[in-house]
Chain A
Amino acid sequence: MGPYQIAWRRLRRNRVALAFGLLFVGIVVLCLLAPVYASDIAHTTPSANHETETVRIGSKTVDVVSLTGLPIGPTWHGRFFLGADAEGRDVAVRLLYGGRNSLEIGAVATLITIIFGLLAGIVAGYFRGFTDGVISRVLEVIWAYPVIVFGAAVGVIVNVGGLNLGFVKLTGGTLLVPAIIIGIVYIPYVARPVRGKVLSVRGLDFVDAARQQGLGHMRIMVGEILPNVTTLAIVMIPLQLAQSILLEAALSFLGAGVQPPSPSWGTMIGDGTRLIPGAIHLTLVPGTMLVLCVLGINIFGDGVRDALDPRAKLRIEP
């Protein structure tokens, strides 16, 4: 039995982790079904404005947004199931569409972090010397910024005038902008442990054996070193996904992430904050969804770590 099979067996026995993993999968599926929910149940779109309309609750007819500007709370029926926001948009529909944006950004950011973190960590650890010096210094510089300040600064700059890095051109307003920013900010958090692991592996006999067979650097890095840091990378995926989703929410809350009218959980909480105490559901609904989603990823991720590396230093298992 291979190590991954053993890990899978261990994970299968961890019912708490599996339950929370299922919670996360459930949220993802719900968000993917957003268009179905919007057209068949709520009969609206995420940005459709119903400010001047009324909705029937039982025998009463109620304004979607009252004359004082307060939107209705949850009706627990098809239309406005979770209430409306200040512009008369359906919160439940926006929640699902916003979830798609939040999850998409989280996934793309995690992909960027893991790929470039692995690349930087392996190259730095394998070549050591000058290459390592340059890469480590660059990572140290990114590391020096408080994550949220760096993310917010780049977010604002891109939103003001676009960013041209030669190989990538970013213009404000697309979902790719927060995803790339978040992905870059977290690279050192993956590259550092990977580099450490590579340093401890590169002097072992099998690497020398590969070199004496005349294999090139590329072949050794991909064929011999990479498999030894895969476990580390797998363990970091859920952790990074949770962190990325939280950072996206924070940046969007501040206005430096997802740009209106696109919804995301962070922008929804930000909009809702302005209507506290009148309409707490605008904060409570996206906030609860965000916490459940991140909690699901974190506990499942901890189970994965536990299964792959039972003697890990830091474990958060129940």
Chain B
Amino acid sequence: MARFVVRRIGSAILVMFATSVLTFLIFQAIPSGDPAFRLAGKYSTPAQVESIRREWGFDKPIYVQYVKTMEKIFDGSVISYTQQLNVDQTVIHDLPATLSVTIGGAVIWLLVSVLFGVLSAIRAGRYLDRVLTVLAFIGLSMPAFFLGDIALYYLGYKAKIFPLGDYVPLTQNPGAWFSHLLLPWMTLAVLYIGIYSRILRSSLLDTLGEDYVRTARAKGISERRVLIRHALRNSMIPLISLWGLDFASLLGGGTILIEEVFNINGVGKYVGDSIGRLDVPPILVITVFAAFAVVALSAIVDILYAALDPRIRLSS
């Protein structure tokens, strides 16, 4: 196990290094034109561009530029020149909102998917299964921003059931935090429930045909206990590993669309707004952070996975 953990962490560090190089290439080295000017933004003066060039080392060889860029990202001295705000501080300030959206949404979609997946599997081919399948397909084909827009319009503006967007910090008012986040959570959940409940359904149907399930039934254990204790436990493994990856990619800015629609001041909205302003430094920093978050969390998921299932750590 220790060998597996060391190897997995080692490869994660390598991939992180590679993503940092690729991000650097995409942002600074490959595009034509002056990188200092790109960072400075549309309304910069030549003096500003000149000082950025010196600060980021664009007058030096390319490997120095790379090192300087990473130094600036990780010592927290990158500034959005368009807004005159420190990027890392803004990200840290915005992170709680993004965490709130992601965690709440992820919990809801996992619970509902398990419920729907189990119902679909035990009623496979019957009426309920078909209805859930249709719903799964619609969720699968929904763009997040469209679903958010119409949910906000019909449930928020027309029916007045939910508040119209915005984010209230948990520490300020827990009740308002919850009520403001409920609709974004449900919107996020709908997008994932489709695919998750389908995966669980097929994995559960496979497991229910296994010998050990038959043995459990033959021992006279109640059907409910067989389903929950024996079958569901094993069928959940692929679901949980996928869940970890999706969670990481949402945390790394995948919530852009949800945060834009519901006007939640999180990391995603920060990226989205920066895209609108063509403000490059925040996008550069968050792209690096996002890739790092995904790589780190997928390594953690793999390690947990291996701890649960010995076959994995032995085979790789």
User: Interface on A for B, CB 8 Å cutoff?
Assistant: 137, 140-142, 144-150, 152-165, 242, 246, 249-250, 253-256, 266, 269-270, 272-273, 276-277, 280, 283-284, 287, 290-291, 294-295, 298-299, 302, 313-318
| A298 pairs with B33, CB closer than 8 A | no
> Nearest chain B CB to A294's CB is how many angstroms away?
4
Partner of A273, one of B149, B253, B256: B149
Identify the closest chain B residue to A164 (Cβ): B32
Known interface pairs A148-B254, A161-B38; A318-B15 also in contact (CB < 8 Å): no
B106 within 8 A of A: no
Give Cα distance in the complex from A295 to B280, angstroms: 35
Interface footprint category on B: 35 or more
| B26 pairs with A157, CB closer than 8 A | yes
| B198 pairs with A316, CB closer than 8 A | yes
B294 within 8 A of A: yes
> Nearest chain A CB to B272's CB is how many angstroms away?
6
Identify the closest chain A residue to B198 (Cβ): A316
Give Cα distance in the complex from A317 to B18, angstroms: 39
Partner of B31, one of A145, A146, A152, A162: A162
Q: Which 3 pairs across A and B sit closest by C-beta, in order of nearness? A: A161-B33, A287-B146, A146-B249
| A318 pairs with B130, CB closer than 8 A | yes
Known interface pairs A144-B295, A146-B249, A157-B31; A299-B137 also in contact (CB < 8 Å): yes
Residues of A within 8 A of B26 (CB): 153-154, 157
Identify the closest chain A residue to B136 (Cβ): A316
Which of B87-95, B150-158, B169-177, B212-220 is the interface stretch?
B150-158
Partner of A145, one of B145, B153, B202, B287: B287
| B280 pairs with A149, CB closer than 8 A | no
Known interface pairs A145-B287, A290-B143, A294-B141; A152-B256 also in contact (CB < 8 Å): yes
Q: Which residue of A145, A147, A291 has the most chain B CB atoms within 10 A of its CB atom? A: A145
Identify the closest chain A residue to B140 (Cβ): A298
Apart from the given pairs A144-B19, A145-B287, 8 other A-B contacts in the complex at a CB distance below 8 Å: A144-B294, A164-B32, A250-B144, A254-B276, A266-B143, A290-B143, A290-B146, A317-B133
Q: B255-278: which residues lie under 8 A (CB-CB) from chain A? A: 256-257, 260-261, 271-272, 275-276, 278
| B260 pairs with A254, CB closer than 8 A | yes
Q: Which residue of A140, A277, A316 has the most chain B CB atoms within 10 A of its CB atom? A: A316
B101 within 8 A of A: no
Give Cα distance in the complex from A290 to B140, angstroms: 12
Give Cα distance in the complex from A253 to B148, angstroms: 13
Identify the closest chain B residue to A163 (Cβ): B31
Identify the closest chain B residue to A158 (Cβ): B31
Residues of A within 8 A of B193 (CB): none
Known interface pairs A137-B15, A145-B291, A157-B27; A273-B145 also in contact (CB < 8 Å): yes
| B144 pairs with A149, CB closer than 8 A | no
Residues of A within 8 A of B137 (CB): 295, 298-299, 302, 316
| B130 pairs with A161, CB closer than 8 A | no
Residues of B within 8 A of A316 (CB): 133, 136-137, 140, 198
B199 within 8 A of A: yes
Known interface pairs A156-B275, A165-B30, A254-B276; A149-B254 also in contact (CB < 8 Å): yes
| A291 pairs with B143, CB closer than 8 A | yes
Q: Which residue of B30, B140, B198 has the most chain A CB atoms within 10 A of its CB atom? A: B140
Residues of A within 8 A of B99 (CB): none
Residues of A within 8 A of B141 (CB): 242, 246, 291, 294-295, 298
Q: What are 26 contact pairs spanning A and B, CB under 8 A?
A: A140-B15, A140-B18, A146-B249, A146-B290, A147-B254, A149-B287, A152-B256, A152-B271, A152-B283, A153-B23, A154-B26, A157-B26, A157-B31, A158-B31, A162-B32, A254-B260, A254-B276, A283-B146, A287-B143, A287-B146, A295-B138, A295-B141, A315-B198, A315-B202, A316-B133, A317-B133
Give Cα distance in the complex from A203 to B286, angstroms: 43
Partner of A269, one of B23, B146, B256, B275: B146
| A156 pairs with B149, CB closer than 8 A | no
> Nearest chain B CB to A145's CB is how many angstroms away?
5
> Nearest chain B CB to A225's CB is how many angstroms away?
24
B142 within 8 A of A: yes
Q: Which residue of B14, B134, B149 has the most chain A CB atoms within 10 A of its CB atom? A: B149
Identify the closest chain B residue to A249 (Cβ): B143
| B149 pairs with A276, CB closer than 8 A | yes
Give Cα distance in the complex from A141 to B287, angstroms: 12
Known interface pairs A157-B27, A161-B33, A250-B143; A283-B149 also in contact (CB < 8 Å): yes
| B275 pairs with A149, CB closer than 8 A | no
B85 within 8 A of A: no
Residues of A within 8 A of B23 (CB): 153
Give Cα distance in the complex from A22 to B26, angstroms: 41
Residues of B within 8 A of A142 (CB): 22
Give Cα distance in the complex from A70 to B206, angstroms: 55
B117 within 8 A of A: no
| B157 pairs with A277, CB closer than 8 A | yes
B184 within 8 A of A: no
B105 within 8 A of A: no
